[in-house]
Amino acid sequence: MKWREFWATGFVVMLVLGLALQSAPVASYSPKGATAWKATEVVVIDGNLGEWDLSSPVVLDSVGQVYRNPEKWDGTTDLSANVYVMWDESNLYVAAEVKDDTPFIYAEGMFIDMNDSMVIYISTNPGASPSRTSYESADFRVLLMISDFYMDTALDRDMVSDPKGIVTDGMYGGKNVLAGYGHALGAFPGGFTFETKIPWSCFSSGQ
């Protein structure tokens, strides 16, 4: 996967896959989006998306979505993805079907989002306006390394003026800062699936 970034906006959870796919700032908004479905059965984190509702993905598949180094994107077999979101009372679930001709790029000592990763922008405030132009305490930037070996995660809160006890952690890699986090990979010709579980408790400090 050559160095370039994709973005997706207009979703309650703004998603991106990245060494690779990274979201635009919170100020960006579009009526385009996807549905985060409530899980109707137990979601087993095994890389198999059989229990997922795949009817409303975030689709990343065009050069117009590449906002960094678009000239290095060689088409959908080089890098593209369908990203899905579900939830229940305990967890946020995010999964992706990714086409990538050189998956699992990793460089030791680099920030997580400089390796193959998924970066999620999420607000836990249901009343937050999607058209707002500044961050608030309920906003999180979540980084998940996409790897067949590492399980690194990070939280970025540097954009938040009052972090309410949840501060930036894990940006340099080498640790999992999301208690209860799980991920798994699956394979298909020309790509892979990436399935994750993030407990809602990771976004609460009680403050």
pLDDT in tens, 9-43: 333 333 333 333 333 333 333 445 678 899 999 99
Please list the residues that pair with 184 across neighbouring strands. 195
Contacts of 94 (CB under 8 A, 6+ apart): 13, 15, 83, 84, 85, 118, 120, 144, 196, 198
Domain of 28, in residue numbers: 5-203
Q: What is the CATH number of the domain that holds 66?
A: 2.60.40
Question: For the whole model, what pTM was predicted?
Answer: 0.84
Contacts of 16 (CB under 8 A, 6+ apart): 5, 6, 7, 8, 22, 23, 60, 118, 119, 120
What is the DSSP annotation of 61-105? -SGGGEEE-GGG---TTTEEEEEEEEE-SSEEEEEEEEEESS---
Give Cα 206 to chain centroid, integer Å: 24
pLDDT tens, residue by residue, 87-137? 999 999 999 999 988 888 777 777 887 778 888 888 888 888 878 889 999
Q: How many domains would you assign to the chain?
A: 1
HSE-CB for 199 with a 13 A CA cutoff: 10
